[in-house]
Each structure stands twice: as C-alpha cells, then as structure tokens.
Structure 1
Amino acid sequence: MDELITFMRARLDEDERGARDATPGPWSYDPGKEWYDGDDFVTMTNGQEFVGYGGLSPFRGAVCITGDAGHAQSAKDAEYIAAHDPARTLRETEARRRTLARHAPAPPTEAGRRTVTRHGSGPQTETAPLPNAEPPAGAEPSGAEPAAEAEPDAPPRCQHDGQPWPCPDLRDLAAPYADHPGYRDEWRP
C-alpha cells in the first residue's frame, strides 16, 4: 500500500528538482524573434523560433530553439514549451502533493471503522464501518442491520472519498508516470 505513495512522492520530488534546476522564468515565446544577450541587443537572423526567459520584453536569453521561423509546428512547440515553464511545474507539483495527502489510505479506527471525508454539497467527515465490522462493545444499537465480525485485514479505504484504496483519483494522479520503470500495472486507472 505504501509503495504507491512512496512512488508518487519520489516522482514529485524529481519534477520539483527539475523545475528548480531549470533556467528560471518566466519563459516566453516572441514571434518577433528579438532578444537580449547580456547587454547587447541581438536580432535573430538565422530564422529560428525560440523560447526565451527573463520576461516578455526584452528577452535576456534563449532557452530553446524549436525550428525554422514561420514553420507552424515550430511556433506551436515554442508556445507550448513557454507555457510549461518551471514556475508552472512547481505549482503543479504542490497541487499534486496536496491531492496525494488528501487521498491517503484512511487509518483504521476502533472496531474496524475508518474515518473518511465525503464530498458533495460540502465536505463532511463521518466514521464509516468497514465491510463486516462489528460495533464497539457496549455501543447503543443504531437501528441498522448489525454488522458481522471485523476483518483484521480489511482492505484500506481512501480517507477523502471512502473508495477502496488506491482510489480512482490517486490512480489518475499516478497515470502520467506510467512510463517510469517503478510504475505498477495494478495502479492503472
């Protein structure tokens, strides 16, 4: 169970390291192909699309040349790369860490019950019985059908949505890393 969380944390750490090690942004795409290199103004004369850094204008340098100027695919590549600069990766990494924390397995509580947070009209926390769990000794009858004996190895549930863990949201969160050698087929959405 901990393997998926460990795997995801390691991938997010790698993503963050890569973003922090990259040329700081903001990265930009300027179809005019003018940029600054140090204190010298330079006009790109070799006809290349590129992603620059240091603000929209003036550029302080080029991060990446994507191909011939005026080539539709080179321009699309440059726009895409500029939109996915290190700052965006850092924001995405933090958002994914928060999601990962929300979708951890719920710890078992007394008498085979788990506390889960359900979302609908608004978040609320409830204690949900695990399959085949019995109420604690001396508990008042709830009017519900009595539960069977608690299973010591009951499958874990997601603390966020109560679904079997790993829940679909966590599987989706891990899916972009499916090409990593540590990714397991049982994590696929």
Structure 2
Amino acid sequence: MDDLVLWLGEQLDEDEADARAAATRSPEWRLARPLDDEELGDAGLLRPAELKHAERHDPARVLREIDAKRRIIEQCAYWNERAAREAADPPKYPQPGLDLGLLLDAMNPILRALALPYADRPGYREDWRP
C-alpha cells in the first residue's frame, strides 16, 4: 500500500497545483452574473449546466476535497504502518478489542477507492482497482 499512498499523494499535489493556478483571481467562482467577452473566453461555448458544474467545482472546493482526502490517506497510512510494526514486533500486552487485521481490511479498500478517480492517469496500477 505504500506505493499507492505515495502515488495518491502525487495526484493530489498535481490537483492542488492546478486549483491554485486556477484561483489567481478568486478561489470561489460565481458564474451566475453576466460575463463580458473578455471574461468569457472559451466559457462562452459552455451551456448553462456546464457552467454550473464548473462553478460547483471551483478551486476552493477542490482544495477542500484535497485536504479531506489527505486526512483520510493519513489515517489509512497510520494504521497500515502500525499493523506492520505490530506484525514485526507484537506487543506484550495487546489492546483488547483492537483487531488490526480487520482494520486493515477496511483501510485498504478506502485507499483503493480514493485512487479510482485517477485511474486514467499514468502510474495507476490495475491491482489497485477496488
């Protein structure tokens, strides 16, 4: 899973860079007001539903989603590392009720699901597919 965690981090880094570049004027897009020709650019070719979609996926939202995904990945990575440590050096007094095997059975599919939107990007491995 370490490869998947690293690769996912790279994808999020790329998304973050794109969102920050797109947010040079404003991280929150509001396209409901009429735009002049200079502002429209290629957006003048978009239909209202496409404009609404772009507005809903503005850089501010993308950055919040990246933050949320990084927090989820961080937790999954923590439990994966803890399970590996305990497998290599079992604790003398295991925590009652904590089954790391079951926890990993839940964490790994979460990581795979987070990677799925990026399946079309270079480096995605089919064995990561949920």
1:43-88 Cα deviation digits (max 9, x unpaired)? x6xxxxxxxxxxxxxxx944751427xxxxx110011001111000
In structure 2, give the amino acid aligned to 1:176.
P
- SS at 2:112's partner residue? helix
Using CA pairs below 8 Å that are at least 6 residues apart, which structure has the higher relative contact order? Answer: 2
Q: Partners of 1:112 and 1:185 in 2: how far apart?
A: 35
TM-score, normalised via structure 2 length: 0.76
Q: Is the 8 A contact 1:25 1:86 kept in 2?
A: yes
Instruction: Output the aligned Cα RMSD.
Output: 3.0
Q: Is the counterpart of residue 97 in structure 1 residue 70 in structure 2?
A: yes
Radius of gyration: which is bigger? 1
Which structure has the highest strand share of the two?
Answer: 1
TM-score, normalized by length of structure 1? Answer: 0.54
Rate the CA distance shift 1:18–1:180 in 2: closer, same or farther, 3 A: same
Q: Please, which of 58, 61, 65 is the counterpart of residue 43 of structure 2?
A: 65
Structure 1, gaps ≥5 residues long: 36-41, 45-59, 69-73, 117-124, 130-156
CA 1:78/1:128 → structure 2, altered by over 3 Å: closer, same or farther? same
- Deviating runs (4+, > 6 A) in structure 1? none
**Residue aligning to 1:128:** 99
- CA distance 1:185–1:175, change in 2 (3 Å): same
The answer on 1:13 being equivalent to 2:39 is: no
Q: Contact 2:76–2:108 at 8 Å: present in 1 too? A: yes
1:63 & 1:81 partners in 2: Cα distance?
A: 14
**Residues 141-160 of structure 1 aligned to structure 2 (within 5 Å):** 157=101
1:91, 1:176 → 2: CA distance?
16
Question: Gapped runs of 5+ residues in structure 2?
Answer: none
Q: Which has the larger share of helix?
A: 2
% identical equivalent positions: 33
| Equivalent residues, number | 121
2:119 is matched with 178
Aligned to 1:28: 30
